[in-house]
Amino acid sequence: MTRAVLRTSLAALLLTCAVRTPAQNAAAPKGTIAIRASRVLDVKMGQYRASQIIVIEGERIQEIGDAAEIESHIPPGAQVIDLGRATVLPGLIDCHTHLTMSPYLGAYRALSLSVPREALLGARNARATLEAGFTTVRNVGARGFADVALRDAINAGDVPGPRMLVSGPPLSITGGHGDINLLAPEFDASADGVADSVPAVIAKVRWDIKYGADVIKFMASGGVLSKGDNPALEQYSPEEMRAIVATAHGLGRKVAAHAHSAIAIRDAAEAGVDSIEHGSFIDADGIRAMKQHGTYLVPTLYLMDWFMENYPKMELTEDMIEKARVVMPAARQNVARAFREGVRVAFGTDAAVYPHGLNAHEFPVMVKLGLTPLQAIQAATMNAADLLGWPDRVGTLEPGKLADLIAVEGDPLADPSVLENVKFVMKGGVVYKNQTAR
């Protein structure tokens, strides 16, 4: 048995031993639920529908429409949940999270954590994320398949959390953003996802998928919170990128490319990746390539605000801090240009650079940089669902789709910051949070 398999098995075992919460004991949806909503946001049409009832059977929406029409045929014995004057919208989707990581485990301190410990940390972060209204996430990077174990534990009902698509260890060149660069040479340490050359990246993609990856993540450029690499430079060659994408797509997996540098963004888009993560130095060539290929941009913008206030607590190296001071402000300027020029956008936050559960703080920043509140919400619902390959499951409130929905007080189309305080969360017909006025 390989070390990777041992790690995964141990992480899964520890997660299944976690204490079950009252909400999770009733995780299997039962019977029919009718939700009365003062107004529901139709994210496709961009408008509210007043006085609605949502009928849920098991984990899926059976019917949604005008309360006066549906009230008369709600099945006898159905549980009725009245959300009062709250605004209802689809469960939110974050396409760039790291649930098994924490901002307070930066640099050398992170080296002391075992993979099983990271999986258990992920269980706590998963709950915080779900209760913040994010019912689906794409986890793009975790050591030792800790995110696979977490996903499976959530699916089994062992711990509460959002639906997860996971990447397992991201692919990185030797010494790149995804490698272990903090130890002395005598340790000869390499990260799980390190692969150099076309044959090596093909083998690594297959290895990730073998052990449970839903999506493939690779580091097309250097990064910020890593030692010794340069975010303004490309890491994988165009040939290696094309090999990664062809292998992943051939096995039915989408591909996310971490890319700060302009050349990496362009080359990754031309290689056929499904999304560019961050896009900090995107230029005209990158915008052209992304629009030509229909590539999604997953900007991660709010983290700058939190990072600049809190980085002294994060125990980072000096070069990480210096890179952040350059990359993060540039990202806002360049991403705003991409917004103006119509690049497709899916919501993502890089949760773990800041504490999990603050994901919705991304919305006001997206609006400040040029998106309308509706466009920002669409990025976190229907666009994100499309990027994940789940448009038939999540992203809108329609009959046949999963009963993932949230409620907030106020008008998110007028003030997207109200999404930072979610009052009601349902995932798959199960209520995980209800703080609405009764």
pLDDT at 107: 75
**Token pair recorded at residue 174:** 């030797």
When pLDDT is cut at 50, 70 and 90, the band that residue 4 belongs to is very low
Q: Of 10-24, 76-90, 174-188, which gets the smallest average pLDDT?
A: 10-24
Q: Where are the domains of the chain?
A: 32-90+397-434, 92-388
**Token pair recorded at residue 135:** 């019912």
Helix (H) or strand (E) segment spanning residue 256: strand 254-259
pLDDT at 426: 98
Contact partners, residue 302, CB within 8 Å, separation at least 6: 349, 354, 358, 361, 362, 365
The percentage of residues in the chain with a pLDDT greater than 70, rounded to a whole number, is: 93
**278 pairs with which residues across the strands?**
259
* Average pLDDT of the chain, as a whole number: 93
What CATH number has the domain spanning 32-90+397-434? 2.30.40.10
> Does the pLDDT at position 20 exceed 50?
no
- pLDDT mean over 399-415: 97
When pLDDT is cut at 50, 70 and 90, the band that residue 294 belongs to is very high
Contact partners, residue 320, CB within 8 Å, separation at least 6: 106, 107, 224, 225, 226, 227
CB 256 within 8 A of CB 298: yes
Strands 296-298 and 275-278: parallel
When pLDDT is cut at 50, 70 and 90, the band that residue 27 belongs to is low
Q: How far is C-alpha 29 from the chain's CA centre? A: 25
**What kind of fold does domain 92-388 have according to CATH?**
TIM Barrel (3.20.20)
Judge if pTM exceeds 0.85.
yes
Strands 32-42 and 79-82: parallel
pLDDT at 7: 45
pLDDT at 438: 55
> Of 355, 357, 299, 356, nearest to 328 (Cα)?
299
pLDDT at 10: 42
**408 pairs with which residues across the strands?**
87, 422
Return the SS3 of 199.
helix
- What share of residues in the chain are helix, strand, coil (percent, to 5)? 40, 20, 40
Q: Which residue has the higher pLDDT, 138 or 6?
A: 138
Assign residue 234 a region (left: φ > 0; alpha: ψ between -120 and 50; beta: otherwise).
beta
**Token pair recorded at residue 62:** 């059976």
> Of 327, 417, 422, 411, nearest to 363 (Cα)?
417
Q: Of 74-83, 245-254, 293-302, which gets the smallest average pLDDT?
A: 74-83
| CA-to-CA dists, residue 54 to 26, 102, 301, angstroms | 20, 37, 34
Contact partners, residue 194, CB within 8 Å, separation at least 6: 171, 172, 173, 174, 176, 178, 179
